[in-house]
Structure 1
Amino acid sequence: MSAQPARFSVPARLTESVRATGSPADLAWLAGLPRALPARLADRGLVAERLAEPGGRGSLVVFAHRADDLAPVALKLTRPSAGAAEAAALRVWAGRGAVLLLDGSDEGAGPDAAGGALLLERLHGEIPLRSLAEAKAMLEATSLLRRLWVPAPPGHPFESLADRAAATASRLAERRSLPAAADAAPLVDEALEALALAGDGGDWLLHGDFQHGRALAADRSPWLAVAPRPLVGDRAYDLARLVLDRLDTLAASPGPRGAARRRLARLAEAVELPAERVRAWTLLRAVDAALGAFAAGDAGRAELRLEFASWL
């Protein structure tokens, strides 16, 4: 018999994120989670153990085990329609460098079209790649990315990087008029110019949001990627998010400008990609994150990302 976690409540980080950025459908999904979770567990014959805390900003993860054989699993409930692309990417990777999607012959496994539920291999959620020293973490991260980068399969359902970049450019054009972002205009212009020079990096399946917190320790592999926002395009886009990781630590280091440039160059060299392409995508992602922070009223976070962009 399955059961929901004792005193189940939606994690605060998920609640705050959905309320701040969610659509009406997302808000309805959030309100229905306390009812949906026990139903999804019962559908799959699972016994809940505990929620992943603090959890993500777009999904709820519960650690559970199968009632019949006690096999440990993780059940992930995602915002409406958000799980389809993730599930498709996990199927392509089939456990190679990423958490395994437990579909196959398992009844009830895989994505639930109505509920956005993914049944996943259980990883060690309390041990992210971020727990390693930076130099070691970056080495492991680039090794993992090399495993994830595979040619996009024919007829794939994934968003193109060109479309995501166009949406980012449109968002920058809209947010550059924010009063708090007035001083960022030169960096916005430079980011958009860099985007135009980024060029075509091929049709590779990308994680889309790879960082040290999106790789967890596992039993069958030292580290496996989780929570992709998959898309197809230039591998340098994935690397750009990694360049931006641990920004607070980088800013506190001696000579952060030089440290930022060395980090970018070393990561590009590690995966044999042109540093200028990595710089272009990094600049775009840094400025977009900064203006997003301004829009959310987080001036401190915004200014740090703009400062980082100026170091590049």
Structure 2
Amino acid sequence: MIAVPDRFAAETIARQGEDARPWLDRLPEVLRGLCGYWGVEPDGQATHGGLALVVPVRSGEERYAIKVTWLDEDTRHEATALQRWAGNGAVRLLGEDPVHGAMLLERLDETRSLAGEGHDDACEIVGNLARRLWVPPPPSVPRLIDEALLWAADAHHEWDRVGQPVPHRLVGRAVRAHIELTSGGYRPSLLHRDLDFTNVLAGRREPWLAIDPKPISGDPHYELLPLLRGRFAELGNAAGLRRRIALLADASGLDLARSREWALARAVDEWISAVGRGPAGQERAAVVRTVAEWLAES
């Protein structure tokens, strides 16, 4: 029997409420059935992120991983993106059970991510990797333009609802960016949307591969904010942030000014959202607030 880690269960219930408890209760039996379906057996302890449980499995000498995800609007298109990439820059999808939100994946080294590599090397690696991921998008993934215009229409209301934590001038600038930057000047691409240093793991087939996409179709310049709030303590100050975004834009072939404006717009979005989550969002709010303020200086 595959045990569900207590922390994963507690975090899932805290986030999703009691509706998640039946799903958690069924997970061991679901995983047992998936192992039988794919002809594999458990090969170690389950690990987890915020939304998914990952179980190392094997068939003979071949090693894989089964990932079972709590499905929501951010996660339900993950398999579609992995199918589109077909292992080019991302973990390879080997099988899918959409009913249970499950995937059979090649196994990567979860103990080694770009979070542990030298700063400049990590920026160059992830920038080059991102270029490979920005391919023509499948028609079924959500569109950034739709989400951006919806956010712009509701931003001031949401800002007011959570107590106006962001300077009004930054809210206005973010609203304009969401409207203007989606109006043209880019080729829609398949975006990872959560590409940060921890979501690039060491592999055997390739040195580094992306995991855990929350895919969307849109402007590649939208992609960089997670890489600015990741390894945040290493930035030090606004100059450190400007240096990092310049490294990332150069490695990924992006226009620096457009990348900065999208990063600021996303940071304001996340700042308002994090404040709205109360104590659970305090740490994220502090980081994206600083990122937004530093970007506004440049």
Tell me what 2:234 maps to: 249
Residues 81 and 306 of structure 1, relative CA distance in 2, 3 Å threshold: closer
Residues 179 and 73 of structure 1, relative CA distance in 2, 3 Å threshold: closer
CA distance in 2, matches of 1:148, 1:233: 12
Residues 310 and 30 of structure 1, relative CA distance in 2, 3 Å threshold: same
Q: Does 1:96 find its partner at 2:91?
A: no
Tell me what 2:51 maps to: 58
How big is each residue's C-alpha offset from its partner over 1:230-279, in whole Å with a ceiling of 9 and x where there is no partner?
A: 111111111233233222322xx2xx112212222232232222222211
Kept after mapping to 2: 8 A contact 1:128/1:213: yes
Amino acid at match of 2:202: A
Total equivalences in the alignment: 290
Cα deviation, residue 180, structure 1: 5.1
CA distance in 1, matches of 2:243, 2:200: 23
Kept after mapping to 1: 8 A contact 2:149/2:178: no
CA distance in 2, matches of 1:30, 1:164: 30
Corresponding residue to 2:43 among 44, 49, 58: 49
Kept after mapping to 2: 8 A contact 1:101/1:118: yes
Within a 5 Å distance, the mapping from 1:54-203 to structure 2 comes to 55-66=48-59, 69-80=60-71, 84-102=76-94, 110-153=95-138, 156-169=139-152, 172-178=155-161, 181-199=164-182, 200=184, 201-203=186-188
Residues 167 and 64 of structure 1, relative CA distance in 2, 3 Å threshold: farther
Over aligned residue pairs, what C-alpha RMSD do you find? Answer: 2.3
Cα deviation, residue 23, structure 1: 7.1
Query: Normalised by the size of structure 1, how large is the TM-score?
Result: 0.84
CA distance in 2, matches of 1:113, 1:24: 23
CA distance in 2, matches of 1:159, 1:187: 26
- 271-280 or 140-149, which deviates more: 271-280
Residues 38 and 94 of structure 1, relative CA distance in 2, 3 Å threshold: same
Cα deviation, residue 190, structure 1: 2.1
CA distance in 2, matches of 1:120, 1:268: 30
Tell me what 1:279 maps to: 260
Amino acid at match of 1:175: E
CA distance in 1, matches of 2:283, 2:196: 21
Kept after mapping to 1: 8 A contact 2:188/2:217: yes
Query: Normalised by the size of structure 2, how large is the TM-score?
Result: 0.88
Kept after mapping to 2: 8 A contact 1:77/1:116: yes
Cα deviation, residue 11, structure 1: 4.8
Kept after mapping to 1: 8 A contact 2:174/2:268: yes
Cα deviation, residue 45, structure 1: 2.3
Corresponding residue to 1:310 among 290, 293, 297: 293
How big is each residue's C-alpha offset from its partner over 1:109-138, in whole Å with a ceiling of 9 and x where there is no partner?
A: x22122111000011111111110211110
Percent identity between matched residues is 33
CA distance in 1, matches of 2:155, 2:52: 26
Tell me what 1:291 maps to: 272
Q: Does 1:268 find its partner at 2:249?
A: yes
Amino acid at match of 1:205: L
Segments of structure 2 that go 5 or more residues without pairing to the other structure are none
CA distance in 2, matches of 1:157, 1:138: 30
Residues 31 and 273 of structure 1, relative CA distance in 2, 3 Å threshold: same
Tell me what 2:212 maps to: 227
Kept after mapping to 2: 8 A contact 1:29/1:80: no
Segments of structure 1 that go 5 or more residues without pairing to the other structure are 103-109
